[in-house]
Amino acid sequence: MNSLKDISSQARIRPWIINLVLVLLSTLISFVAAEYIFRWAMFSGGPRFENLRQPKLYTDRFSEDDFFKLKYLFTHR
């Protein structure tokens, strides 16, 4: 009788694990896609995203190196 109980509990756990894996995988894919789209918008030459290309939005005010690196990347693309 225990074997039937074990099979029954495994049958309940398996869909839960599959659903959890699907949620985690779809979340990961969504984050990767969002990052890719954001980087494309930042470093494409289109005028539509010009307001995003301000180095001061992404750097620490005490780190001049990062500021000028981003300024170079934003202006030379």
The token duo for 6 is 């074990």
Whether residue 77 sits in one domain with residue 55: yes
Q: Hey, CA dihedral for 47, 48, 50, 53, is it positive or negative? A: negative
Of 29, 33, 40, 44, the residue nearest 74 (C-alpha): 44
Tell me how far CA of residue 67 lies from CA of 13, 23, 45, 58, in angstroms. Answer: 51, 37, 19, 8
> For the segment 45-73, what is each residue's pLDDT rounded down to a tens digit?
788 888 888 889 999 888 889 999 999 98
Decide if 32 contacts 21 (C-beta within 8 A). Answer: no
Whether residue 1 sits in one domain with residue 26: yes
Provide the domain count of the chain: 2
Q: Hey, CA dihedral for 22, 25, 31, 37, is it positive or negative? A: negative
Domain of 71 in residue numbering reads as 45-77
Q: Return the pLDDT at 10.
A: 67
Per-residue pLDDT averaged across 13-25, rounded?
91
- Is 8 a residue whose pLDDT tops 80? no
- Is 33 a residue whose pLDDT tops 80? yes
Per-residue pLDDT averaged across 35-52, rounded?
87
Q: Mean pLDDT, the chain, as a whole number?
A: 85
- Is 4 a residue whose pLDDT tops 80? no
Whether residue 39 sits in one domain with residue 49: no
